[in-house]
């Protein structure tokens, strides 16, 4: 009865499938979980999932040639998210970023203008396409030291210099929920006749409530990737790729998706995408109200806790600012006394039973969502209160007011701090340096004879032979072939000393780095 209220065709087809209990003479081999009978009990959650782990049979449609419930579910998703066409992704936004890049960069050597601080999936897309990336430096918010989007001036100048570029790819919002309007970027791209591609992995909820920022599609982007599983309610790996306008070749895009995604896509994931959309359609902004109220309560509560501060956009300055948008569901907090690093604070919060999304040298990022309640808000505030009390040293008891003074000093040192944060922060106001030369990407591995392993301390000036990816946020700090500057080497050492987790590097502890041998 409850289900009848919602139009979720794919989700309903799956429920029907489970109810019918037909005898399976098809894959998957677990036969709706029956292969596990006798080996699992009622509590076995995996066996429960198997009951709905369907495949493409009569009535369940085919993701790569949708004509029934999947086509209808994708059509309804396009309406809900403001796209002309939507494709379900079962490999996360990763699959969407790869498909977008492979559909615009069709010939090795094609140039794509790419914001430098992108998720590794974008770099992998460039490698697969054999593309040449012109990297665009992001702007930096001076208050927090965090990077957002490249400026419109940077994008415009890059398009002027590279008239043959196939498109522009940016990430919005960043992992911290920060950003600025995408409209100026969409306008410039369209003036040059190229698509604006947006990795909106962290903004699937944007545009779904008046208190939330505008979505990339509403701002005019042509291809948009959203991780529905991150900030909305789909199962992990459930994501969507939305397109509008005539600048993307949709036939090619579908071919790329068929190439990248499994021919046996997960029905629980796809049905969860359908259900996430249908809940939004059925309840509208009210679905998100509870989580937004909790976000407001946390921000209000934090005002009483002088020990911790929240990153917020600066007031209107009249200038086109780097940081005008903050996702209310990303709460970026830090120790105003400057004693606890983000990693320390994350550890303290976890000991109190509050598990953050990520941390860096300075900040902790808390991801809220439609499931966050006032009870969760109180839990967090109580945890922070207790951490503040434990951290207060004996002599500090009556000295909370001095904390802000300490913080002012630490803000003066923010030049140093901003360099320590594990997102890519190399702000370049000078357009000459904000736009890189084209960097060739490809799949040919560098042979071991061409590589040597050296201490990070000795790496300045050398060409990196590996990617180093602090995770999260998964933004490569160095990519293969990039020259390691002094500042970059220092950042690597800082990251090592602060215990950051890194992927990609052969020495994940970052004592050494692989570089290309120098010609003798
Ligand atoms: C900005 C950004 N883009 C893309 C991705 C990849 O998303 P997914 O995990 O859904 O594949 C991530 C993952 O963290 C991300 O942060």
**pLDDT tens, 466-477?**
988 877 677 788
Is 474 a pocket residue for ligand 1 (Cβ < 6 Å)?
yes
Task: Check pocket membership of 94 for ligand 1, CB cut-off 6 A.
Answer: yes
pLDDT score of 483: 83
> Residue 28 — very low, low, confident or very high, per pLDDT cuts 50/70/90?
very high
* Residue in the structure block whose two tokens are 């998210």: 81
- Closest atom of ligand 1 to 239 CA is 10
- Residue 457 · residue 489 · CB < 8 Å: yes
CA of 475 to the centre of ligand 1 (A): 10
Kindly state if the Cβ of 424 falls inside 6 Å of ligand 1.
no
Average pLDDT, integer, range 346-356: 98
Q: Is 9 in the pocket of ligand 1 (CB under 6 A)?
A: no
Are the C-beta atoms of 131 and 438 separated by less than 8 Å?
no
Percent with pLDDT over 90 in the chain: 73
| pLDDT at residue 156, rounded to an integer | 97
**What's the gap in Å between 43 CA and the centre of ligand 1?**
32
Nearest residue to 380 (alpha-carbon basis) of 367, 363, 361: 367
pLDDT mean over 262-285: 97
What's the pLDDT tens digit per position in 382-416?
Answer: 999 999 999 876 555 444 433 333 444 444 444 44
Kind plus residue range of the DSSP H or E element containing 343: helix 342-351
Distance CA 509, CA 496 (A): 6
Highest average pLDDT, of 117-126, 313-322, 427-436, 493-502, comes from 117-126
Is 117 close to ligand 1, i.e. is its CB under 6 Å away? no
Regarding pTM above 0.85, the answer is yes
How confident is the prediction for the chain on average, in pLDDT? 90
pLDDT of residue 366: 98
């Amino acid at each position: 009865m409850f289900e009848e209220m919602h139009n979720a065709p794919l989700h309903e087809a799956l429920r029907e499938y489970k109810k019918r209990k037909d005898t399976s003479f098809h894959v998957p081999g677990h036969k709706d979980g029956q292969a596990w009978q006798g080996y699992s009990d009622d509590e076995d959650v995996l066996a429960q999932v198997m009951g709905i782990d369907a495949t493409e049979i009569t009535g369940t449609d085919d993701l790569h040639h949708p004509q029934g419930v999947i086509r209808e579910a994708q059509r309804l998703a396009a309406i809900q998210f403001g796209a002309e066409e939507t494709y379900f992704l079962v490999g996360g936004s990763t699959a969407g970023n790869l498909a977008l890049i492979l559909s615009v960069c069709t010939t090795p050597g094609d140039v794509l203008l790419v914001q430098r601080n992108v998720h590794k999936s974008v770099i992998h897309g460039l490698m697969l396409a054999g593309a040449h990336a012109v990297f665009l430096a992001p702007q930096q918010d001076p208050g927090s030291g965090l990077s957002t989007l490249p400026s419109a001036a940077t994008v415009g100048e890059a398009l002027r210099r590279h008239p043959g570029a196939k498109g522009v790819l940016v990430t919005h919002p960043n992992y911290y929920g920060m950003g600025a309007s995408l409209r100026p970027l969409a306008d410039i791209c369209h003036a040059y006749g190229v698509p604006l591609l947006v990795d909106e992995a962290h903004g699937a909820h944007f545009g779904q409530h008046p208190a939330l920022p505008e979505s990339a599609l509403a701002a005019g982007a042509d291809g948009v990737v959203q991780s529905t599983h991150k900030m909305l309610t789909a199962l992990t790996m459930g994501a969507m790729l939305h397109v509008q306008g005539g600048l993307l070749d949709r036939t090619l895009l579908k071919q790329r998706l068929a190439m990248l995604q499994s021919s046996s896509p997960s029905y629980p994931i796809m049905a969860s995408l359908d259900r996430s959309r249908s809940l939004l359609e059925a309840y509208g902004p009210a679905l998100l109200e509870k989580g937004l109220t909790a976000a407001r309560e946390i921000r209000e509560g934090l005002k009483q806790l002088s020990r911790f501060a929240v990153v917020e956009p600066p007031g209107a300055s009249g200038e086109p600012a780097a940081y005008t948008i903050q996702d209310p569901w990303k709460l970026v907090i830090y120790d105003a006394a400057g004693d606890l690093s983000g990693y320390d604070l994350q550890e303290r919060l976890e000991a109190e039973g509050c598990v953050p999304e990520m941390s860096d040298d300075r900040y902790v990022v808390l991801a809220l969502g439609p499931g966050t309640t006032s009870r969760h808000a109180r839990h967090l505030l109580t945890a922070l209160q207790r951490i503040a009390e434990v951290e207060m040293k004996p002599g500090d008891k009556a000295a909370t007011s001095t904390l802000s003074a300490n913080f002012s000093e630490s803000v003066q040192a923010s030049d140093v701090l901003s360099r320590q944060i594990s997102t890519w922060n190399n702000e370049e106001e000078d357009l000459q340096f904000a736009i890189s030369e084209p960097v060739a990407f490809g799949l040919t591995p560098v042979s071991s004879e061409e590589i040597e392993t050296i201490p990070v301390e000795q790496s300045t000036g050398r060409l990196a032979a590996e990617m180093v990816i602090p995770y999260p946020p998964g933004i490569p700090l160095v990519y293969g072939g990039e020259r390691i500057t002094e500042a970059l080497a220092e950042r690597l050492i800082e990251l090592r000393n602060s215990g950051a987790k890194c992927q990609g590097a052969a020495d994940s502890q970052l004592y050494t780095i692989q570089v290309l041998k120098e010609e003798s």
